[in-house]
Amino acid sequence: MSPNFNNSGDKYSVLLPTYNERENLPLIVWLLVKYFGESGYNYEIIVIDDGSPDGTLEVGEQLQKIYGKDKILLRPREKKLGLGTAYIHGMKHATGNFIIIMDADLSHHPKFIPEFIEKQKEGNYDLVSGTRYSGNGGVYGWDLRRKLISRGANFLTQVLLRPGASDLTGSFRLYKKKVLESLVERCVSKGYVFQMEMIVRARQLKYTVGEVPISFVDRVYGESKLGGNEIVSFVKGLLTLFATT
């Protein structure tokens, strides 16, 4: 496929919320540039750094020099303010009509993005979600406890909310920009439940959801963000969501 192949007028804004991702950021950006370049889609990468003390932002500035300010937009915030608000912040600066959200820690591989885009076009879906739980999707590098928690969380949600999607806690997704805006306006959750609430609200609003099987790789550097307190807040958030939907 030649790089000029996909001049459909669509533009994809990748939102990358970061906190202490100094080692990962150059690699994830390089991979994004590579896969967007090869598939020929128009894109921009918006890095939303929440005041990382490890110099993530400085790395972002170097990447801007390499790839250009039109491709790498730095939209930092003073301190850690959470995922939901990071997306709201990023969306304000996005010029694409599609938004891709993903983690900057290399657990989400950019090679799946062209598949997300093709899937979206195929059914004109309002959102496309990467799923670890259907087709040939999978999780690598997780111990049994993490797998059980993740599967358990998904199962609990399926039973309580019947959302019609197989992977709810994943955060690798492609949205039509206006759909994401309307969902974020309605979302009340923070942290991990936020991703799940987005899918549940999408269902309520009759948005269409496509799925692409992905392999998910646990963090290459740094600590996993899913601690015991996150699990407690996840279950609490899930029950609140169940009570209010």
SS3 string, 137-190, reads CEEECCCHHHHHHHHHHHHHHHHHHCCCCCCCCCCCEEEEHHHHHHHHHHCCCC
The verdict on residue 166 lying in a domain is: yes
Does any domain span residue 159? yes
Residue 82: CATH number of its domain: 3.90.550.10
**Distance (Å, whole) CA 191 – CA 149:** 16
Closest CA to 113 of 15, 208, 7, 202: 15
Is 6 inside a domain boundary?
A: no
Phi, psi of 195 (to 5 degrees): -60, -40
Give the model confidence (pLDDT) of 74-91 as tens digits.
999 988 887 778 888 999
Longest dimension (CA), the chain: 50
Strands 138-140 vs 72-74: parallel, antiparallel or unpaired: unpaired
User: Are the C-beta atoms of residues 74 and 17 closer than 8 Å to each other?
Assistant: no
Supply the pLDDT for residue 220: 45
Q: What percent of the chain has pLDDT over 90?
A: 43
pLDDT: which is higher, 233 or 46: 46
CB 93 within 8 A of CB 73: yes
Q: Mean pLDDT over residues 149-162, rounded? A: 61
201 vs 106: CA distance, rounded Å:
27
Q: How confident is the model at residue 233 (pLDDT cuts 50, 70, 90)?
A: low
| Coil/strand/helix, residue 196 | helix
- Is 5 within a domain? no
How many domains would you assign to the chain? 1
Q: What is the rounded average pLDDT for all residues in the chain? A: 80
In a domain, 58, yes or no: yes
Domain with 225, as residue range(s), is 12-243
169 phi and psi, to 5 degrees? -95, 0
Decide: 179 and 97 in contact? Cβ < 8 Å.
no
- Predicted confidence at residue 1, as pLDDT, reads 40
pLDDT at 139 over 60: no
End-to-end CA gap in the chain: 44
Tell me the backbone φ, ψ of residue 211, rounded to 5 degrees: -130, 145
Tell me whether residue 222 is exposed, middle or buried, using C-beta atoms within 10 angstroms of its C-beta: 0 to 12, 13 to 18, 19 or more.
Answer: middle
pLDDT 10s digits, 58-71: 999 999 999 999 99
Q: Residue 11 forms beta bridges with which residues?
A: 42
In a domain, 4, yes or no: no
Comparing 9-13, 168-172, 221-225, the range with the smallest average pLDDT is 221-225
